[in-house]
Amino acid sequence: MKQRVAALIVAAGKGSRLSNLPDDLPKQYRRLGSGSVLSHTLNAFGRHAGIDDIVCVIAEGDRLLYDRSLAEASAETQAKCHEPATGGATRQASVFNGLSALSESGVTHVLIHDAARPFIAERTISDILDRLRSGSAAVLTAILVVDTIKSIADGRLKTIDRSKLWAAQTPQAFALETALKLHQQAQSEGRLDFTDDIGLAEWQEIDIDIAEGSADNFKITTQPDLLKAESLAARMTHPVSPSPHPLAALGDVRTGQGYDVHAFEDGDAVILGGVSIPHSRKLKGHSDADVVLHAITDAILGAIADGDIGAHFPPSDPKWKGAASDQFLVDALRRVGELGGRVAHVDVTIICEAPKIGPHRDALRSSIAQICKLPIGRVSVKATTSEKLGFTGRKEGIACASVVTVRLPFDDTEEYPQ
Ligand code: CTP
Ligand code: MG
């Protein structure tokens, strides 16, 4: 029988170890570069030719957040996604609901994956599919433990032989029938304490194969995990097509300036230059309100005399609600590329009383340099207060000014009025 393989993405958790604030989004809906964590996870399966179907399990009340993530995913991912199933009180219950939703679908195999692991590699999925194809009933993704692990017994420390220790990850894959049977059996026997699915296969002594995972396939669980994920996502930002021209050949040197302001509202972090900086407020805006990337985008558009950010990405368009602002900047860079030019230098001044920018200066420079594909020496970030004067002085918001140098090839056909 031909295999038909589904990815079952569990996304019904609350992410309480990341944040317990009622207004904070669950981690699977937090922003990561060009989309939500979930949209990245969905795309990892959507783009894999061996995955036929995708079903998400989401918490009751999260439908709008799910729809927004799906809208951010690629068209090929959207085409594979079924109606989402509703989550349960535990991960195990959520998986069971997802499996039940798949039971009449014609799917033969299922890869169960945490939404909070957006960096699952294509080769891991391929490796799992190979094992299922050659008859495995259960496959665990895992990596060998690299740290030296100690245990305490009777008050004494003991080193454990780490060559036998694996750190479990997801996807955990099964023949659908096997997964359903295991979960039904666990339900009927009141075993509701499994924190992963392979645990059920161990319990029933089913043979388990191991596919090698990767360190990048970590589960976003705490705040440092989210920061690590943000920097990984920034490194993967859509590549800007390199200009065919070396800088020296681009004699038409242009200067553009951009300026933007966003007001504060209640929150716990501001996003500046693509970097999330913990703060007692957040910036209010239709997109992610990254005032720095907006100012740079406008400066670039200014240098090529191509309107402004609002003209290309109208705030009235719901598509840009909560959008990560690097995509606005990438679009401006694409416009420069289409003219055969390159951005040569970016300078930014951030005006606010708080948060302090100095400690984050190099993180901002490196994030902006990554997005613009520039050496870090061509990106400058400065900050100033306004001496407690005006709206920035009253801590009502953050302003940012940017000056950008763009180099274009000379256009000999240009006409100047006489
Ligand atoms: N999950 C789920 N249903 C639940 C609990 C968890 O679908 N009732 C999902 C989460 O959304 C996540 C995955 O299972 O993608 C792994 O769980 P975990 O990392 O524990 O996520 P949370 O439960 O959301 O986080 P926390 O335990 O910190 O609250
Ligand atoms: Mg949990």
Contacts of 279 (CB under 8 A, 6+ apart): 267, 268, 269, 270, 354, 355
Tell me, in angstroms, the distance from the centre of ligand 2 to residue 97's CA. 16
**Range scoring the smallest mean pLDDT among 51-55, 147-151, 207-211, 398-402:** 147-151
Query: Ligand 1: does its nearest atom lie under 6 Å from the Cβ of 9?
Result: no
State the closest ligand 1 atom to the C-alpha of 9, by its place in the atom list counted from 1. 15
Question: Is any ligand 1 atom within 6 A of the Cβ of residue 17?
Answer: yes
Q: Look at 30 and 239; give whichever has higher pLDDT.
A: 30
Rounded Cα distance between 252 and 266, Å, is 45
d(CA 118, ligand 1 centre) in Å = 14
In sequence order, what are the beta bridge partners of 335? none
Q: What is residue 153's three-state secondary structure?
A: strand
Q: Is the pLDDT of residue 51 over 80?
A: yes
Q: For 358-413, how does the pLDDT look when each residue is reduced to its tens digit (9 = 90+)?
A: 999 999 999 999 999 999 999 999 999 999 999 999 999 999 999 999 999 888 78
Give the pLDDT of residue 22.
79
Which numbered ligand comes closest to the C-alpha of 220? 1
pLDDT at position 239:
43
Q: What is the mean pLDDT of residues 73-96?
A: 96
Question: In the chain, what is the straight-line distance between the N-terminal and C-terminal CA atoms, in Å?
Answer: 77
Residue predicted with more confidence, 23 or 332: 332
Res. 219: pLDDT tops 60? yes
Both structure tokens of 145: 């433990």
What is the DSSP secondary structure assignment for residue 82, as one 8-state letter?
-
Comparison of pLDDT for 313 and 11, the residue scoring more: 11
Q: What are the pLDDT digits (tens) for 164-176?
A: 899 999 999 999 9
**Angle of the 291-303 helix axis to the 326-338 helix axis, nearest 10:** 10
Output the residue whose Cα is nearest ligand 1's atom 7. 12
Report the largest interatomic distance among the alpha carbons of the chain, rounded to a whole angstrom: 93
The pLDDT of residue 241 is above 50:
no
Question: Nearest to residue 16, comparing CAs of 25, 8, 7, 5?
Answer: 25
Estimate the share of the chain in helix, then strand, then coil, as percent rounded to the nearest 5: 35, 25, 40
| Residue-level pLDDT at 286 | 86
If you measure from the C-alpha of residue 13 to the centroid of ligand 2, how many angstroms do you get, rounded to a whole number?
A: 6
* pLDDT beyond 50 at 243: no
According to DSSP, the β-strands at 379-384 and 342-351 are: parallel
DSSP summary character for residue 172: E
Would you say residue 138 has pLDDT above 70? yes
pLDDT computed for residue 244 by the predictor: 55
Percent of the chain with pLDDT over 90: 82
Phi, psi dihedral angles at 366 (to 5 degrees): -70, -35
Helix (H) or strand (E) holding 310: helix 309-312
CA of 87 to the centre of ligand 1 (A): 10
What band does 322 get if pLDDT is binned at 50, 70 and 90? confident
Which of 42, 114, 119 for mutating ligand 1's site (highest number of atoms within 8 Å of CB)? 114
Q: What is the mean pLDDT of residues 95-123?
A: 97
**Which 3 state secondary structure label does DSSP give 277?**
strand
Q: Is 247 a residue whose pLDDT tops 60?
A: yes
Among 408, 412, 414, 415, residue whose Cα is nearest residue 255: 408
Half-sphere exposure of 257 (CA within 13 A, CB side): 4
Mean of pLDDT values over 54-79: 95
Starting from the CA of residue 115, give the closest ligand: 1
CB-CB contact of 238 with 35 (8 Å): no
Q: What average pLDDT does the chain have?
A: 93
24 or 342, greater pLDDT:
342
Q: How confident is the model at residue 237 (pLDDT cuts 50, 70, 90)?
A: low
Which helix (H) or strand (E) segment is 299 a member of? helix 291-303
- What distance in angstroms lies between residue 2's CA and the mean position of ligand 2's atoms? 35
The type of residue at 24 is D
What's the pLDDT tens digit per position in 285-308?
Answer: 988 999 999 999 999 999 999 999
Helix axes 63-72, 37-46, angle to 10 degrees: 50
Burial pattern 43-55, b for ≥16 Cβ within 10 A else e, equals bbbbebebbbbbb
Q: Is the pLDDT of residue 80 over 90?
A: yes
Please check the confidence at residue 240 and state whether its pLDDT lies above 50. Answer: no
